[in-house]
Amino acid sequence: MSAYLVRRALGAVPMLLGVSVVLFILLHLAPGGPEAALLGGDLSQQDAAALRRSLGLDQPLPVQYVRWLTSALRGNLGISYLQGVPVLQVIGEHVGATVQLAAGALALAIAVAVPLGVVSATRPNTWIDRTATGVALAGVSFPSFWLGILLILLFASTLRWLPASGYGAYGLEGGGTDHVRHLILPVVTLAGTQIASFLRFTRSSMLEALAQPYITVARAKGLREVRVLLRHAFRNGLIPLITLLGLSLRFLIGGAVLTETVFAWPGIGRLSVDAVIGRDYPLLLGLNLLIALAVIAGNVVTDLLYSLADPRIVWQ
Amino acid sequence: MRTRLTRRQLLARTGAAGAGLALGVRGSHASPLSVASAAAAQGQTKDTLVIGLGGDASFINPVVASDGQSYKVEWPVFDALVEYDENLNIRPALAASWDVSEDGQTYTFHLNKTVVWHDGTPFTADDVAFTFYTMLDPKTHAASRAFFGALAGFAELTNAAKPADPASLPKKPVEVLDPYTVRFNLSYPYAAFLGVLTAPRGAIIPKRALQGQDVNTTPFNTKPVGTGPYRVVEWRKGDSIVLEAFDRYYRGRPAIRRVVFRVIPDPVVRTQALRTGGIDLLDDPPVDELNRLKSDPQYTVAGIYTPSYEYFGFRLDRPPFNDVRVRQALSYAVDFDAIVHKVLLGYALPATGPIPPTSWAYTAQIKRYPYDPAQAKRLLSEAGYTPGPGGIMQKDGRPFRFSIKGDEGAQAVRDAAVIVQAQLAQVGVQADIGLLDWPTFVRQLFASDFEVILVGWTGHPDPDPFNYTIWHSSQWNGRNFAHYKNPEVDQILEDGRRTRDRAKRRAAYVKLQQVLATDAPYVWGYYQKEMYVYNRRLRGFSLIPAQAAIYQSLRTASWQS
């Protein structure tokens, strides 16, 4: 397995290089520049020119790229224009919040969707099935900012059970429980948008698995229905779910802009939007490379999980 | 141009979509949901004030920060030599007193000797000189540099290609006479000089903490040391900035022990945070919530006209807008009263010129062009336009058609553009809406790459800094991107900046407003009120008519027991 991992890691290098070249070109092709955010309303042409020179933006694009690359290869992704601190530090300050939110949402979505999907598949076209699919469809149809605001109105403003927004107590007071309380509403909101896809994938792959001859055989052997479902059908129906999970890794790191915005959650999603609007090229490159890395890692993890779920799949 | 924080732009969108949902929901009491509100709910003495902002600061360093949110946090952290009071008179701050030479070109400041920095070191004249030489250095990403153009040697020191060494200058802009006396030398008499020295643009940064560092990237910018009433104790990026009262503040320790700026981008959620007690002061409230909040006895709703205004502008040196009759016609055709009432729900005043009603230079004598489509059509036909196919006015076979550029991230701009488009259609002018994202728009603006724009100016409490750079014909490469040129206005602007006699200055700026009213270089939009909603038990805020200047008065704020 380690040989396989090394090969995949080496394969990621040219891919990341390619991504960085394309990103670099695309970012600089976008109209406008960082002077709008850095100098704001007090801008003068002279200051804008001085700023571009000071940031090295007056150099030809290939020169700028080579400069960035040589520094990046030494582990320095540059300094964020908007915050004046190293890109890795900026990402480090926000990635924790995003991972907590996304991992929480993913866990909740799976915990709700997978059992519901299994139940729906075993009782297709009954009221349970229709209710579960209906709720899931509603979840994916509601925009997350709207669902988020409704939850805030209900649980924070009216019932006053949970805080409306924010990351948790600031300053010296407050602790773990306060933070968890702040996490609940955004996690539920974000999970709401994911439950539908997990549920539908689980349901359809379970339906497919349940129609296979080996299920009939298992039942004919007199196995208990729970064992038939979990051991024989579910395990074989896992592959599409694992694929979906692997794809979610990108989103674990990339952040959820709307949910983070509504709940004032200091994650990567909001940071990315700020970086785009501020034309913070080093930060944008850093963030997008991180996401590219997450996609590659997601694929590797998916491949590894495939063979755990299905021993017929081997790494080569 | 308005210094909008980028975050607000996205948020205006999501917020607007959700704005209608908050209807009818109102909190009736504070709840013990957050540390800050716990004490309030139980009626104890409160020592924390939580402020809800729409976006995070970028740098807490007045020399390199340019955005509106950073300004708000900088007010309580950094003091300047002088400051404005509620009536826009200058009063002492870090400088206890000052003398101005007869010719108005030398300002000598006697510093307050009791001032110490947050790290305990004394504040001296070296810090003042360091601040201004850092700002003038072209390597510094200083947004406010252009405000100090009157300083001796400005052109030489700020030359990006070959910046001069201050030691080589015949007359230095800033001289340290002794540890507590500092002198500024100007290259011409400049009446607005004290005005531009006010915070946050003129706030002083410490030499000792910053010397030898790259001011654009120093860690100081997140853990600053200032001379203000509050010091920064914690900054959780994107979430909150915690300030604590500075015990050794030279004007006395502020009453509120702790001030927290919380970042809550969505305006609807920010408003809910006020109702649930998560915040005590709501910054930048959504206008559609203001009437409800106003009728709630729990809150004080306060507002002030700052020097900012919005306008509908043209590229003035090219046809068709180089014809005054066309500009006047559009002034009759666009009804900003409707925009003020429908979009801003009355929390704004239709503008009559570039100077807001809170300025000493404002005159109420000027009347707006009334909304009069018939008069607009008459003026257009005088200018040679005739109705063409589809009712579109045309001249020399070309239809009167243009694209309105503006910031697509600003909700008010998007709403106003639609209204303006419909009103122009009434007089046979076809306007397309071509809003752009902020960085793209700013670049096109300063490259004068537009025909028609819908945008605003932040302005300055002194009428000189913005009006000179917007209207003087020498400024076509800067803020005068609309390419206005009028020798009479050039002269008025020179008169306004060279005399320190306020009556004479006022006469000059009244004349400016009159000339601009006739010349109609813009269709004047509106002065928007800067609004705040806060817990009614908060006392001691003063509304100074400058951008976000309520935060200057944090040091006098207190909780009523």
**DSSP labels for A208-258?**
HHHTSHHHHHHHHTT--HHHIIIIIIIHHTHHHHHHHHHHHHHHHHH--HH
- pLDDT given at position A42: 59
Percent of chain A with pLDDT over 90: 27
Residue A282 carries which side chain, given as an amino acid letter?
Answer: P
Model confidence pLDDT, tens digit, residues B439-487: 899 889 888 999 999 999 989 999 999 999 999 999 888 889 999 999 9
Please write the tens of the pLDDT for every residue from A65-114: 999 999 999 989 999 998 889 999 999 999 989 989 989 999 999 999 99
Residue B60 confidence (pLDDT) above 90: yes
> What's the gap in Å between the CA of A259 and the closest CA on chain B?
10
Give percent above pLDDT 90 in chain B: 79
**Has residue B2 got a pLDDT over 80?**
no
Is B27's pLDDT higher than 70?
no
> Is any Cβ of chain B less than 8 angstroms from the Cβ of A159?
no
**What are the chain A neighbours of B262 within 8 Å (beta carbons)?**
166, 170, 264
CA closest to B65 among chain A residues: A38
DSSP-assigned beta bridge partners for residue B558: B539
Residues 6 or more apart whose CB falls under 8 angstroms from that of A299 comprise A246
The rounded distance, in Å, linking the Cα atoms of B358 and B310 is 16
Between A and B, how many CB-CB pairs are < 8 A?
Answer: 239
Q: Give residue A311's pLDDT.
A: 79
pLDDT in tens, A234-251: 888 888 888 888 887 777
Pairing outcome for strands B452-457 and B401-406: parallel
**CA B342, CA B415: separation in Å to the nearest integer?**
9
Minimal CA separation from A20 to chain B, in Å:
22
Q: What is the pLDDT of residues A279-289, one digit of tens each?
A: 999 999 999 99
Lowest mean pLDDT among A42-46, B88-92, B280-284: A42-46
* 3-class DSSP state of B13: helix
Relative to beta strand B398-399, strand B281-283 is unpaired
- Closest chain A residue to B243 measured between Cα atoms? A171
**B 392-411: CB under 8 A from A:** 409
Out of B68, B239, B273, the one facing A164 most closely (by C-beta) is B273
Return residues 193-232 of A near B (CB < 8 Å): none
Per-residue pLDDT averaged across A264-275, rounded?
Answer: 91
Residue A312 has pLDDT above 90, yes or no: no
User: Does the beta-carbon distance from A277 to B477 stay under 8 Å?
Assistant: no
What tokens were used for B208? Answer: 């000792």
Residue with tokens 């890109």: A87
Q: Within its chain, how far is the Cα of A204 from the centroid?
A: 24
User: Does position B37 have pLDDT exceeding 60, yes or no?
Assistant: no
A38 touches B at CB < 8 Å: yes
Q: What pTM was computed for the model?
A: 0.88
Q: Which residues of B touch A164 (CB under 8 A)?
A: 33, 269, 272-273, 276, 278
A148 and A262 Cβ atoms separated by less than 8 Å: yes
Testing the interface with B: which of A42, A53, A81, A95 to mutate, by most B Cβ within 10 A? A42
Give the minimum alpha-carbon distance from A108 to chain B in angstroms, rounded to a whole number: 24
pLDDT at A160 exceeding the cut of 60? yes
Per-residue model confidence (pLDDT) at position A170: 62
pLDDT of amino acid B7: 34
Cβ contacts of residue A294 below 8 Å, gap of 6+? A249, A250, A252, A253, A254
CB contact, 8 Å: A158 with chain B?
Answer: yes
Which residue type occupies A147? L
B60 with B77: CB under 8 angstroms? yes
The A residues from 176 to 195 touching B (CB cutoff 8 Å) are 178
pLDDT surpassing 70 at residue B178 = yes
Task: Kindly indicate the confidence band of residue B17, based on its pLDDT and cuts at 50, 70 and 90.
Answer: very low
Q: How far is B305 from chain A (nearest CA, A)?
A: 18
pLDDT score of A43? 67
For B260, the closest chain A residue by CA position comes to A170
B2: contact with A, CB 8 A cutoff: yes
Task: Name the nearest CA neighbour of B5 among B72, B52, B50, B62.
Answer: B72
**Is the pLDDT at B16 greater than 50, yes or no?**
no
pLDDT at B156 over 60: yes
pLDDT at B5: 35
Exposure letters A61-79 (e unless 16+ CB within 10 A, then b): eeebbeebeeebeeeebbb
Is the predicted pLDDT of residue A47 greater than 80, yes or no? no
Give me the torsion for CA of A35, A39, A43, A45, rounded to 10°: -40
**In this complex, is the C-beta atom of B121 within 8 Å of any C-beta atom belonging to chain A?**
no
Q: Which residue from B66, B68, B222 is facing A39, i.e. has the nearest CB?
A: B66
| Predicted local confidence at residue B40, as pLDDT | 43
For the record, the structure tokens of B298 come out as 């729990």
